[in-house]
Structure 1
Amino acid sequence: MIKNLLSFLSIFLLVLLVVYGIHTWVVSFFSIKNNPAIINLSYVFNAVYTVLLITVILILRKKFKDQIGFIFLAGSFVKLGVFVAITKLNGIVMDKTVFLDFFTPYVISLILEVYYVSKILNSNK
């Protein structure tokens, strides 16, 4: 389990760091006016939440092997809700630029989560 988690984490964090670099470069290159703290919050939040979600799924995969997909879906739903709550509590208005600053790391995280959870589900067969 630890080996699987470390393998996922290394790939996930490398991809997320590369996307973060490209994202911040595009924002600065095109002089898009936004708050860099929102970008940082979004990437850190998605990274931490993804690590927690995958860890929970790895821990529960044997006991709840038939419900892993539902656990993943619930976790993804909660991820959106928690981020919206954090932005509302910090007074961040969800306009188009803030949405894209959240959506970019969310989609990258989601793609990697789906890939890894599908590997877990296939290994349970």
Structure 2
Amino acid sequence: MLETHEECLVHLESIRWNGTPTCPYCGSIKASMYKNEHRYRCNSCFTSYSVTVGTLFHKTHLDLQKWFQAILLLYKLNPNISARKLAKEIQVNRATASLIIKRVQDIPADQAEMLRAIIQVFE
């Protein structure tokens, strides 16, 4: 099991990019990593990005570890879990749990494989 947010970021990078960071804005693989953070700067379009851009994790302040736990609960252990129960399980408030449930349920088809790969880490 992944213990920290950083470990989850590394795992997500391996799932999404397979070792080669790809700019979500222009598709370039020419990037420089920022020191001390898991962000990249595209050397083609000069934008900054992380592995979460364009995913259900984008623009959330919740640790990926909690997201991964929630995905496991929603897909493997209890697909009909309530927001209140999920909030208690991953130690967030009910509104955050509701947001997680909504985003996971509305996942685009092109990201479904990413969720399966995340679940495999727990098996």
Higher relative contact order, chain-length normalized (CA < 8 Å, sep 6+): 1
**TM superposition score normalised by structure 1:** 0.33
**TM superposition score normalised by structure 2:** 0.33
- Structure with higher Rg: it is 1
| Larger strand percent | 2
